[in-house]
Structure 1
Amino acid sequence: MAHRIFLRRIVSLSCRELPGISQSHFSGLRQSLTTLCNHSSTVSSAQNSLLHSSRMFFTSAFCRDSFIVQDGADFNERVINSDKPVVVDFHADWCGPCKILGPRLEKAVAKQNGKVTMAKVNIDDLTDLAFEYEVSAVPTVIAVKNGNIVDKFVGVKEEDQLEAFIRKLIGG
């Protein structure tokens, strides 16, 4: 209970109250903490010990294979220059289908046991990236391998379709 109160206090802070943190980084941190607060009552004891032993905040059991893109430079470094294939989820907080697709994608990526990673791009925060990759609707998912786009889809897909999309990306 004390952890939830602490997390809610952090989420309620404004960027001005945390010197040295950029607005985009703060937004990603706030989103992660909000998700954690909302799901903390359903966290198992094993997940809870993992949360306390790690310096990272996990929003789900699958989060270790995914990350939130902070800016264009971060995208280039972690997606375009990645040694692993990357599934990029362009989404928005206000998008209902995005909220359905996101957890399905995380689950499908987690099943690959580290062979692929997932990047999450909020189009409201990173509009330039959305324009650059011709995202005209959300959710849009692109598959990047060796710095090149190899596949793309728009909309919600079933879990078996997502797994096939990812297997095709990793060549399995």
Structure 2
Amino acid sequence: MAENLQEFTDANFDADVLKSSEPVLVDFWAPWCGPCRMLMPTIEELAGEYAGKVKIGKVNTDENQQTAAGYGITSIPTVMLFKDGEMVDKVVGAPPKEHFVKMLDSAVG
């Protein structure tokens, strides 16, 4: 996993995402999901580009079903942006990188 990319789990989601002082982009994914694997390089690039401004990480929905169910994740990849403990943006599928740049810039701007 990329250096600036974090692994969020059922155990750390509350502390690392909801109580974070900076915006958090969360990629809900699974290893068997083709579109998730296609999206991974984009998420890794963003983690490097937004280091220090936005926390970026992934939730493996197979291993962290409680968190995935709690947010109603029925299709993956689903990417959610959290700010001040609230989900402020969401996208399902694998849009181009520019879509995520706009999401993140609105959160940090």
Higher relative contact order (CA 8 A, sep 6+): 2
Distance (whole Å) between structure 2 residues aligned to residue 123 and residue 99 of structure 1: 14
Q: Distance in 2 between matches of 1:169 and 1:133?
A: 20
**In the TM superposition, what whole-angstrom CA distance separates every residue of 1:24-49 from its partner, at most 9, and x where no partner exists?**
xxxxxxxxxxxxxxxxxxxxxxxxxx
* CA distance in 1 between partners of 2:51 and 2:62 (Å): 30
Alignment match of 1:145 (pick from 80, 83, 99): 83
2:72 is matched with which residue?
134
Percent identity at matched positions? 35
TM-score, normalization: structure 1?
A: 0.60
Cα deviation for residue 115 of structure 1 reads: 0.2
**TM-score scaled by structure 2?**
0.92
- Structure number with higher helix proportion: 1
Secondary structure in structure 2 of the residue aligned to 1:121: strand
Measure the CA separation in 2 of the matches of 1:168 and 1:136: 26
Corresponding position of 2:43? 105
Matched, 1:67 2:6: yes
Count of matched residue positions in the alignment of Structure 1 and Structure 2 = 109
SS of equivalent residue, structure 1 residue 73: coil
Quick one: which amino acid aligns to residue 144 of structure 1? F
1: CA distance, partners of 2:76 / 2:50: 24
Map 1:4-153; keep pairs closer than 5 Å. Answer: 59-60=1-2, 63-64=3-4, 66-70=5-9, 72-153=10-91
Q: Deviations over 1:126-157 (max 9, x none)?
A: 11111100111000000000100000010001
Distance 1:155 1:116 in 2: 21
Larger radius of gyration: 1
1:160 matched to 2:101: no
Runs of 4+ in structure 1 deviating by more than 4 angstroms, as ranges, are none
Unaligned runs of 5+ in 2: none
For residue 109 of structure 1, report the CA deviation from its aligned partner.
Answer: 3.1
